[in-house]
Each structure stands twice: as C-alpha cells, then as structure tokens.
Amino acid sequence: MFAHHGSRISYDLTQMVTLTGTVTEFQWQNPHVYIKFDVKDKEGKVTNWGAETYSPVVMTRDGWGRKTLKNGDKVTVTLWPSKIGTPLGFLAKLVHPDGHVTDLSNGAGPE
C-alpha cells in the first residue's frame, strides 16, 4: 500500500515541450487519464504522442469528464517530456479545441 509508480522519476521536470496535434485516443481511467495525439512535423512525418495526467477524480475537479476530448479534436499540449526520449510526457497545459485552457503547471507536477 506504500508503493507508487513514481511519475516524477519518469519525466524531465526541468523542461517543457509544446506540441499541436490531433487527438487519437482519450483514456478516462485509473490510475491516470491519458491523451494520445498525432503530431505532424515539418516533413509531414506523424508521431503519436502520449500525455499522462492526474487521476480521473483529480481531473474532475478541473471540470474534466469522459467526454472532455474526442478523437479528431485539435489540441495544443505542453508537457514535461519523458527522460528517455520517447514521445510521452506528463501534461502541464492543454489548449482545448474551443480555446479554453487547462493549466496544471502551477501544481506540483507529476505525482
């Protein structure tokens, strides 16, 4: 009961990366909500990124729910990137399709 998966050790909290892409999957699940999204580079190559967030109960406090994002939504995501260079990070800020912003960067960062 004292173990934790340690998100803080997985992400580089000294930098943030901002990406714009299209949602391909929104996973509303415990222990963390995940957003998967396609990002196209200047040459047209598409990379599927993942953004981990807090648990559903925490995200609900910020107004999120199972239908907050849907496949095809255009989003801008700022995240703390994976320390090992994979296309994954912990969500710091998300600009929703309607322009409103969820900013998690003022908190303690990943759990």
In-domain check, residue 3? no
Residues in contact with 89: Cβ distance below 8 Å, sequence separation at least 6, in sequence order: 11, 17, 49, 50, 51, 52, 77, 79, 80, 81, 82
- Residue 96: phi and psi, rounded to 5, are -75, 165
pLDDT recorded at residue 5: 52
Residue 43 lies in a domain: yes
Q: What is the mean pLDDT of the chain?
A: 90
Q: Is residue 110 part of a domain?
A: no
- Residue 65: inside a domain: yes
| Average pLDDT over every residue of 66-92 | 96
Domain range for residue 17? 8-103
H runs (alpha helix) in 37-93: 56-61
Q: What is the CATH number of the domain that holds 44?
A: 2.40.50.140
Other C-beta atoms lying within 10 Å of the C-beta of residue 69: 21
The pLDDT, as a whole number, for residue 88 is 96
Say how many domains are in the chain: 1
Residue 77 lies in a domain: yes
1 within a domain of the structure (yes/no):
no
For 21-30, 39-48, 100-109, which range has the lowest pLDDT when averaged over its residues? 100-109
Kindly report the number of other CB atoms within 10 A of residue 89's CB atom: 25
Q: What digits encode the pLDDT tens for the residues 27-49? A: 999 999 999 999 999 999 999 99
Q: pLDDT tier at 8 (50, 70, 90 boundaries)?
A: low
Answer whether 56's CB lies under 8 Å from 30's CB. Answer: yes
Q: Is the pLDDT of residue 83 over 80?
A: yes
